């Protein structure tokens, strides 16, 4: 109840701020050119999306699973980088929020469960999501570490995801967009990882590490990971995202800053 009241209050404040900003923004009154999107149109669309998001959350009875303090970590990174490329493992009640904070960037979700995708995207068709088929199950989490140690195609020296069918931890059949974009922020809050037959987050964590190491552009890749109270998340994060890259954490969320691998012949950590 208190949580709802806090969220309601924050939303109202944000709504007032945005409306205040819109009322002081003369660019909103300028006409756009013959059907082409202008910077002003872009601004209007972004602000429209954010107002829609405020209305959505102010009137919704379901709230995201992450706590306010956990959300704030990703919110602050996103606020400082937007417009940027944000890749999120797992659709949820927070998806609209992340998309609306990055209105001029690219926000793409990877979701394993088509039924859950339909439920979340029902009224939010502008959210971009790909369905992912995972090749792993939670049951195999321990064995997959042995597989990683033995399979050269998994090693940091290989560092390839697309078409890497030999390494079971590599998400090898994603859309080209996922491989071709450099993701500034990767959020790992999916797939499901709380029962034996669930896919678990092993390959999401491994693949996020490979993407981050392969970054060619300036800066680091921010990886935020939820549910680090669970063994698999903890062990895999330490194995591939590395303690030395852990820069922040609160509750069940860890924030890593992964630099590009200068020398592909080095290990993950
Ligand atoms: C761990 S939840 C977290 C979602 C989001 N980040 C949040 O805070 O609300 C994400 C995963 O749970 C799965 N899931 C399935 N049914 C669900 C439900 N009813 N509620 C939440 N997650 C569900 C989805 O497959 C999804 O990838």
Q: Which of 68, 227, 198, 80 is nearest to 140 (CA)?
A: 198
Which residues span the domain enclosing 18?
2-59
- Which residues, judged by CB distance below 6 Å to any ligand atom, belong to the binding site of ligand 1? 64-66, 90-94, 111-113, 116, 189-192
| In a domain? residue 246 | yes
Higher pLDDT, 224 or 64: 224
Q: Please indicate, yes or no, whether residues 53 and 83 belong to a single structural domain of this protein.
A: no
Q: Name the residue with the closest Cα to ligand 1, atom 5.
A: 92
CA 194 – CA 231 distance, rounded (Å): 11
Q: Give 217's pLDDT tier (boundaries 50, 70, 90).
A: very high
Per-residue pLDDT, averaged over 195-220, amounts to 96
| In a domain? residue 269 | no
Cα–chain center distance at 104: 16
- Is 77 exposed, middle or buried, given 0-12, 13-18 or 19+ CB atoms closer than 10 A? buried
| In a domain? residue 160 | yes
Residues 6+ apart with CB under 8 A from 213: 156, 159, 258, 260, 261, 264, 268
The CA 63 to ligand 1 mean position distance, Å, reads: 11
Q: Name the residue with the closest Cα to ligand 1, atom 25.
A: 113
Q: Is 101 helix (H, G, I), strand (E, B) or coil?
A: helix
Q: State yes or no: pLDDT of 20 exceeds 50.
A: no
Q: State yes or no: pLDDT of 64 exceeds 90.
A: no
Average pLDDT, the chain: 88
Q: Give 123's pLDDT tier (boundaries 50, 70, 90).
A: confident
Q: Give 36's pLDDT tier (boundaries 50, 70, 90).
A: low
**The pair of three-digit structure tokens given for residue 131, joined into one six-digit string:** 């369905």
CA 257 – CA 245 distance, rounded (Å): 5
Report pTM: 0.86
Q: Name the residue with the closest Cα to ligand 1, atom 16.
A: 116
The CA 265 to ligand 1 mean position distance, Å, reads: 36
| In a domain? residue 9 | yes
Mutate to test the pocket of ligand 1, among 56, 63, 71, 90 (most ligand atoms within 8 A of CB): 90
Q: Please indicate, yes or no, whether residues 227 and 110 belong to a single structural domain of this protein.
A: yes
pLDDT 10s digits, 223-244: 999 999 999 999 999 999 999 9
CA angle 256, 220, 105 (to 5 degrees): 100
pLDDT at 165: 96
Mutate to test the pocket of ligand 1, among 68, 116, 120, 232 (most ligand atoms within 8 A of CB): 116
Q: Please indicate, yes or no, whether residues 236 and 182 belong to a single structural domain of this protein.
A: yes
Structural domains of the chain, count: 2
Q: Name the residue with the closest Cα to ligand 1, atom 18.
A: 116
Strands 106-111 and 128-131: parallel
């Amino acid at each position: 109840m208190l949580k709802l009241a806090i969220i309601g209050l924050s939303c109202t404040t944000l709504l007032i701020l945005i409306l205040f900003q819109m009322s002081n923004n003369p660019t909103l009154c300028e006409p756009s050119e013959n059907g082409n999107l202008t910077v002003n149109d872009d601004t209007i669309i972004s602000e429209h999306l954010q107002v829609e998001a405020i209305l959505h959350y102010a009137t919704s009875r379901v709230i995201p699973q992450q706590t306010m303090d956990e959300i704030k970590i990703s919110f602050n990174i996103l606020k400082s980088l937007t417009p940027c490329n944000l890749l999120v493992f797992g659709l949820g009640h927070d998806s609209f929020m992340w998309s609306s904070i990055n209105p001029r960037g690219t926000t793409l979700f990877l979701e394993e469960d088509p039924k859950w995708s339909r439920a979340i995207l029902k009224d939010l068709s502008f959210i971009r999501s790909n369905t992912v088929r995972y090749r792993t199950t939670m049951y195999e989490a321990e064995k997959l570490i042995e597989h990683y140690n033995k399979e050269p195609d998994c090693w940091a020296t290989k560092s390839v995801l697309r078409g890497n069918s030999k390494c079971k931890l590599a998400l090898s059949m994603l859309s080209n967009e996922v491989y071709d974009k450099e993701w500034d922020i990767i959020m790992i809050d999916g797939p499901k990882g709380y029962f034996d037959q669930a896919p678990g987050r092993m390959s999401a964590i491994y693949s996020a590490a490979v993407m981050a190491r392969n970054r060619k552009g300036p800066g680091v890749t921010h990886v935020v990971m939820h549910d680090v109270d669970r063994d698999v998340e903890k062990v895999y994060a330490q194995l591939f995202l590395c303690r030395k890259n852990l820069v922040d954490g609160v509750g069940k969320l860890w924030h890593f800053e992964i630099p590009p691998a200068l020398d592909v012949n080095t290990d993950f950590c």
